[in-house]
């Protein structure tokens, strides 16, 4: 009996709005971010999904998104496990900087490499590969076994920690994952086979707002 894995990227944060590199910094959701989380939660409620457990990161924007989604599906008291393994990619020296200011300091090409290469980290930070190196073991030991037991599991996390999972689930190459942007607050529903491969994937909501 295989189960269901639902991935949701947190709604817009205050620093997303201000065009800042966020990483492990801990800003709140904006009003739009709250609305995005509510919309995603409502889409899950409309689909009739109920969860057995939820996972989120150590950062407020993901935790708040998780809380809002669970309220919308009528499970505000569901057991929720928080772990920094699901945190956003650490942008190191870029954290807190405006993206335009970073380009002015290091050059557009260098900042683009840090943002969009698979394995070149910014100074003091993580590459997408580094992020995956902490997300994947946590997924394999803590999340996947529950799904394979037939549970329905919610993971509310971040663009890059979730891209690390989507890369494995969707069997994307290093080049393909770099082109993928996950929309904020839009749930991705995976049905898994008994061998942990994907039986079906459904995106709940309008992807036209992806950014």
Q: Strand 188-192 vs strand 53-56: parallel, antiparallel, or unpaired? A: unpaired
Say what the pLDDT of residue 183 is.
94
Span 34-43, pLDDT tens digits: 999 999 999 9
Annotated catalytic residues are: 10, 88
In contact, 92 and 126? CB cutoff 8 Å: yes
CATH number at residue 150: 3.40.50.1240
How large a percentage of the chain has pLDDT more than 70?
A: 97
Provide the number of structural domains found in the chain. Answer: 1
Strand boundaries in 19-126, DSSP class E: 53-56, 80-82
Position 211 in a domain = no
Span 8-26, pLDDT tens digits: 999 999 998 899 999 999 9
| C-alpha to C-alpha distances, 26 to 52, 195, 199, nearest whole angstrom | 27, 36, 35
Span 104-117, pLDDT tens digits: 999 999 999 998 88
Domain around 126: 4-206
């Amino acid at each position: 009996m295989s189960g269901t894995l639902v991935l949701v990227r947190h709604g817009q944060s205050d620093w997303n709005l201000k065009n800042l590199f966020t990483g492990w910094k801990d800003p709140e959701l904006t009003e739009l971010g709250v609305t995005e989380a509510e919309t995603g939660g409502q889409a899950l409620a409309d689909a009739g999904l109920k969860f057995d457990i939820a996972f989120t990161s150590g950062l407020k924007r993901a935790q708040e998104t998780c809380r809002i989604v669970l309220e919308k599906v009528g499970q505000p008291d569901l057991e929720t496990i928080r772990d920094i393994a699901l945190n956003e990619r650490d942008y190191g020296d870029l954290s807190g900087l405006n993206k335009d200011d970073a380009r002015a300091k290091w050059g557009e090409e260098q900042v683009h490499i840090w943002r969009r290469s698979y394995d070149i980290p910014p100074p003091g930070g993580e590459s997408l590969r580094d992020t995956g190196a902490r997300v994947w073991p946590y997924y394999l030991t803590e999340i996947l076994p529950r799904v394979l037991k037939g549970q329905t599991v919610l993971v509310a996390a971040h663009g890059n920690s979730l891209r690390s999972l989507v890369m494995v689930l969707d069997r994307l190459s290093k080049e393909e994952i770099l082109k993928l942007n996950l929309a904020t607050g839009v749930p991705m529903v995976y049905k898994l086979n008994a061998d942990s491969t994907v039986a079906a994937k459904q995106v709940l909501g309008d992807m036209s707002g992806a950014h």
